[in-house]
Amino acid sequence: MPAAELVEVTKRYGAVEALKGVSLRIELGEVVAMLGPNGAGKTTSISILLGLRKPSSGKAMLFGIDPNSLDARSRVGVMLQESGVPQMLRVSEIVDLFRSYYPKPLPREKAIVMAGLEEKANALVKELSGGQRQRLYFALAVCGNPDVLFLDEPTVGMDVEGRRSFIERIAEFAQMGKTVVLTTHYLEEADQLARRVIVIDRGVVIADAPPAEIKSKVAGKKVRFVAPDLHEKNLEGLPVTAVMIKDGRVQLLTNQPESVLRDLFQRGVEISDLEVSGADLEDAFIALTSH
């Protein structure tokens, strides 16, 4: 029995078709990242899986049953982009309130520790910073001890250190054998956390594979350097699969970095700040979704 499933789901908003026959199946214990450009259909897919929106056609299921059934909802934790809780309750009070909605919740202290809010347990919600509020929403998502956790852009508004710590806490939750479904614009987060990546573009699933397999779809090396006088005509005939030039900074994707650099030097291109590295998930994502 899958944790979550969409079967030939379409979703229309007037003349706009946000999802076009999407089918996907997420098994219990999987950690899955759903990626896609803005408006691609990620959040719509999550909303339909959660029963917050109805599909125009097709079927959505959680644990093989209707997402709106009490049995399904009691096993799911959710952290959406837009959340709101009473401002005058304390962190411990709001966590206790949400725990009361579930049959077998986590202890209050454990949920607060998992979110890294031990020092703010007695603070009013209105006193929390933006990053701390995100942590509170995570505590509320996990306090019911859910089998499946949905996280929609969970680190928006966090600083770099806050994001790093938060990702570690999500990983700890996944290590408990839980299913995690994550959408994010920070592709390094998906690369760190997910064992499977689903890429949605224009309402269609265009890739569904482990991160390493998706990264293998693009050229193996990324070559970056500064060359203020370089133009795309200087690159004609070179074995590159993607080119980005902005303000004198150049990025190339290629399977033959040595050959590319040798030819550039022979063509008299002045290069500085040279860096050669492996292509990452962001490079693959851009290659897959560029039109």
Alpha-carbon span 63 to 5, nearest angstrom: 8
pTM over 0.85: no
- 49: Cβ contacts below 8 Å, ≥ 6 apart: 4, 6, 60, 62, 67, 150, 181
Q: What is the CATH topology of the domain spanning 221-289?
A: Alpha-Beta Plaits (3.30.70)
- CATH 3.30.70.100 maps onto the chain at 221-289
What mean pLDDT is predicted for residues 186-191? 84
Average pLDDT, the chain: 90
Alpha-carbon span 107 to 104, nearest angstrom: 9
Q: What is the CATH topology of the domain spanning 29-44+67-215?
A: Rossmann fold (3.40.50)
- 96: Cβ contacts below 8 Å, ≥ 6 apart: 108
- pLDDT score recorded for residue 254: 87
- CATH 3.40.50.300 maps onto the chain at 29-44+67-215
Asked if residue 28 lies in contact with residue 179, where contact means CB atoms within 8 angstroms, the answer is yes
What mean pLDDT is predicted for residues 164-187? 89
pLDDT confidence tier of residue 241, bands split at 50, 70 and 90 = confident
| pLDDT surpasses 90 at 47 | yes
Rounded to 5 degrees, what are φ and ψ at 232? -60, -30
